């Protein structure tokens, strides 16, 4: 999964390309490169490493021109190397391509092109596209790209420039995102919106199977068989600052602190002040369709899957609907038993996760109703779903998902109440109470964030641990999983989330004085059982870090560390309890000198299977 950026206008392209690529580095950062057209000639500069390495290369040997494309890579085919970095060129060096995605039939295409005399330099799938365009070049770059892509199977978002037609950038997408932005006298192409927000909020999303041509005067879109497509310009309301760090050391910390306002934005405009009626404009489900649902399947990956697990509990509790959560990659390949009465809810921050997109396609193929909970307007999964509820969390740049998760839980909570009301299984007064609890939640998260210094001190002591166990019961169990994932992905410490009751069936053998055990000691009917688990851990010399809503004397005596969160309803406790776990993972990672916003081997949105 990679980042693409392009510029065409009346200024030197290079500064825009480098600035855009820096904002896209979270999508992949093992190599980078740019290409420009200057006086009709192509110039390329690329290298192994990050954008800073490319900048150094360009300081020594700059390239000029008012048209350019750039790329930051997360390797899929062809190991990270100089020669495998993008842009890639055809035999003549007159056609240059950057690509995000996977060409699944690249080997057979490569063989056929080599048999036809083409010489390859890299081991990537992308280079095949450059030679295919060359093979089809017959006067029109747009047509050559279109013919080339008609032979390609797989996912792509590409930008192409060429000496054959030096005044334009040709773009195309299928399965990987690509957005065009329109400034005053310039246009931009990008894999995501924040990379060009500083210059424009006027954008169009290229749809799957579309191809486009951008000159300094206009933008035209077509589908692959050449029919013109009329694209509506959307205005993005994100301000540029919201995509910057805002004074925090890392995007992750900024986004943890943004959660109270992010949840306020998620709720805004969706709850009527007096009646507390719930409205989701783009849900596209009539009351009758809601009542026709007899089962809910959540499907997602990673942190979003954890949100689905909480959703399972909430839908069964408030909508009185059987619910389950499926890993997207498993769901799409195991012949799931679903039908028109099944509601599949895809949960995804990026809206571009390939496995989740595949699960949506599978659900639609089996006539299920599909809605998605998504953070990126107009993303692939949002557009493939029958209905969508946007989390409105604003751009989440840190690879570790934080505000996306808590706003996903907020949407799921509201949906469960909406379904419960439409199905007549919860009263208006109960719904008003539940929504009142939610409206109070943001300031409770602000209170929880005030424990930051306490958590930072605890993190100081845990910087050298090699393993950790996270335990929870009920809705605390998905949060145990999420806390463990946060620690794993940003600090590289092995951590495992487990149902607390299951500890005695195995994991208790792991407990020793080096093993920190984070316990979600959340108020509710399982609290006493959790205290018992704390006892079991302490009896074996384990270190207990308890997250609790009460400075309960029993817990205070037993736990080595106690992090207090404000009281809230049992249903909303997962949203509150995850905040200290996000901070704990963050500060341990910082202590260990890890690259918090761009952890090794990870990418923000995994647009490959
Ligand atoms: C979360 O911290 C991870 N970065 C990862 O598990 C992520 O949740 C997963 O890749 C799904 O991404 P999505 O929500 O954009 O679909």
Q: What angle do CA 583, 482, 496 make, to 5 degrees?
A: 105
Question: Which residue, 501, 496, 495, is CA-closest to 473?
Answer: 501
Q: Would you say 549 and 523 are in contact if contact means Cβ atoms under 8 Å apart?
A: yes
Task: For residue range 42-90, list pLDDT tens digits in order.
Answer: 999 999 988 999 999 999 999 999 999 999 987 767 777 888 999 999 9
Residues in the chain, how many? 609
Task: For residue range 372-412, list pLDDT tens digits in order.
Answer: 999 987 788 998 999 999 998 887 889 999 999 999 999 99
Sheet holding 387-390, edge to edge: 323-327, 295-300, 342-348, 369-374, 387-390
d(CA 54, CA 454): 40
Tell me, in angstroms, the distance from the centre of ligand 1 to residue 300's CA. Answer: 8
d(CA 196, CA 248): 21
Does 243 have pLDDT greater than 70?
no
pLDDT above 90 coverage of the chain, percent: 76
Within 10 angstroms of residue 502's Cβ, the number of other Cβ atoms is 14
- Contacts of residue 104, defined as CB under 8 A and 6 or more positions apart, other chains included, come to 153, 154
pLDDT of residue 127: 96
pLDDT of residue 28: 74
Beta bridge partners of 161: 96
Question: Which residue, 98, 4, 1, 7, is CA-closest to 44?
Answer: 98
pTM for the full predicted model:
0.75
Residue 51, class by beta-carbon neighbours within 10 Å (0-12 exposed, 13-18 middle, 19+ buried)? Answer: buried
Q: Is 349's C-beta closer than 6 angstroms to any atom of ligand 1?
A: yes
Q: Which atom of ligand 1 is nearest to the CA of 401?
A: 2
Question: Which residue, 7, 5, 15, 9, is CA-closest to 184?
Answer: 9
Tell me, in angstroms, the distance from the centre of ligand 1 to residue 365's CA. Answer: 24
Does 246 have pLDDT greater than 70?
no
Task: For residue range 266-306, list pLDDT tens digits in order.
Answer: 998 788 877 778 989 889 999 999 999 999 999 999 999 99
604 included as an active-site residue = yes
Q: Would you say 342 and 294 are in contact if contact means Cβ atoms under 8 Å apart?
A: yes
Q: Is 353's C-beta closer than 6 angstroms to any atom of ligand 1?
A: yes
d(CA 27, CA 17): 15
Number of DSSP helices (H) and strands (E) in the chain, helices first:
19, 25
CA 269: distance to chain centroid?
A: 24
d(CA 31, CA 47): 6
**Mean local confidence (pLDDT), 197-202:** 92
Catalytic residue (one of 2, 47, 301, 594): 2
Which carries the bigger pLDDT value, residue 601 or residue 458? 458
- Looking from the CA of 451 toward its CB, the CA atoms found within 13 Å total 25
Which of 107-116, 332-341, 547-556 is the least confident region?
Answer: 547-556
Does 241 have pLDDT greater than 70?
no
pLDDT of residue 236: 86
Whose C-alpha lies nearest to ligand 1, atom 16?
A: 348
Q: Any idea of the CA torsion for 485, 486, 489, 490, to the nearest 10 degrees? A: -160
Does 477 have pLDDT greater than 80?
yes
529 included as an active-site residue = no
Q: Which atom of ligand 1 is nearest to the CA of 606?
A: 10
Burial string for 537-567 (b: 16+ CB within 10 Å, else e) reads: bbeeebbbbbbbbbebeebeebbebbbbbbe
First to last CA, the chain: 10
């Amino acid at each position: 999964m990679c980042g693409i950026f392009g510029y065409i206008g009346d200024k030197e392209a290079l500064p825009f390309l480098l600035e855009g690529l820096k904002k896209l580095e979270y999508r992949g950062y093992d190599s980078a490169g740019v290409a420009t057209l200057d006086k009709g000639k192509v110039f390329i500069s690329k290298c192994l490493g990050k954008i800073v390495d490319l900048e150094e290369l360009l300081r020594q040997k700059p390239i000029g021109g008012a048209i350019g494309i750039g790329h930051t890579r997360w390797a899929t085919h062809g190991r990270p190397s100089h020669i495998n970095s993008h842009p890639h060129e055809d035999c003549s060096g007159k056609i240059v391509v950057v690509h995000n995605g996977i060409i699944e039939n690249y080997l057979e295409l490569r063989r056929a092109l080599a048999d036809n005399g083409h010489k390859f330099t890299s081991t990537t799938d992308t280079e095949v596209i450059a030679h295919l365009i060359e093979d089809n070049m017959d006067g029109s770059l747009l047509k050559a790209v279109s013919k080339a892509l008609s032979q390609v199977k797989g996912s792509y978002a590409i930008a192409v420039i060429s000496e054959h037609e030096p005044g334009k950038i040709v773009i195309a997408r299928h399965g990987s995102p690509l957005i065009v932005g329109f400034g005053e006298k310039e246009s931009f192409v990008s894999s995501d919106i924040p990379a060009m927000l500083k210059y424009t909020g006027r954008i169009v999303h290229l749809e799957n199977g579309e191809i486009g041509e951008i000159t300094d005067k206009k933008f035209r879109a077509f589908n692959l068989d050449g029919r013109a497509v009329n694209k509506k310009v959307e205005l993005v309301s994100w301000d540029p600052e919201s995509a910057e760090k805002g004074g925090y050391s890392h995007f992750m910390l900024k986004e943890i602190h943004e959660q109270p306002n992010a949840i306020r934005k998620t709720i805004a405009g969706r709850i009527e002040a007096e009646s507390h009626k719930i409205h989701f404009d783009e849900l596209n489900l009539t009351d009758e369709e809601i009542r026709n649902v007899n089962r809910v399947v959540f499907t997602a990956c990673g942190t979003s899957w954890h949100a689905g697990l909480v959703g399972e509990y909430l839908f069964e509790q408030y909508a009185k609907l059987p619910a389950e959560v499926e890993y997207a990659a498993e769901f799409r390949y195991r012949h799931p038993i679903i039908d028109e009465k099944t509601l599949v809810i895809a949960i995804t921050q990026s809206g571009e996760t390939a496995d989740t997109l595949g699960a949506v396609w599978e659900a639609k193929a089996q006539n299920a109703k599909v809605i998605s909970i998504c953070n990126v307007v107009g993303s692939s999964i949002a557009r493939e779903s029958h209905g969508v509820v946007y989390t409105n969390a604003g751009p989440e740049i840190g690879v570790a998902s934080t505000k996306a998760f808590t706003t996903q839980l907020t949407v799921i909570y509201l949906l469960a109440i909406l379904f419960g009301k439409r199905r007549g299984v919860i009263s208006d007064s109960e719904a008003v109470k539940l929504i009142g609890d939610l409206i109070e939640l943001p300031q409770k998260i602000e209170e929880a964030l005030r424990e930051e210094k306490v958590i930072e001190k605890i993190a100081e002591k845990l910087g050298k641990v090699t393993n950790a166990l996270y335990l929870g019961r009920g809705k605390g169990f998905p949060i145990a999983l999420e806390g463990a994932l946060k620690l794993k992905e940003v600090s590289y410490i092995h951590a495992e989330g487990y149902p607390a009751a299951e500890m005695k069936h195995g994991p208790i053998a792991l407990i020793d004085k080096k093993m920190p055990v984070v316990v979600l000691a959340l108020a509710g009917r399982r609290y006493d059982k959790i205290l018992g688990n704390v006892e079991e851990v302490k009896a074996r010399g384990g270190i207990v870090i308890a997250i609790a809503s009460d400075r309960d004397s029993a817990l205070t005596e037993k736990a080595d560390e106690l992090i207090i969160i404000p009281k809230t309803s049992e249903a909303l406790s997962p949203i509150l309890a995850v905040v200290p776990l996000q901070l704990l993972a963050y500060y341990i990672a910082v202590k260990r000198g890890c690259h918090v916003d761009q952890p090794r081997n990870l990418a923000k949105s995994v647009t490959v299977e």
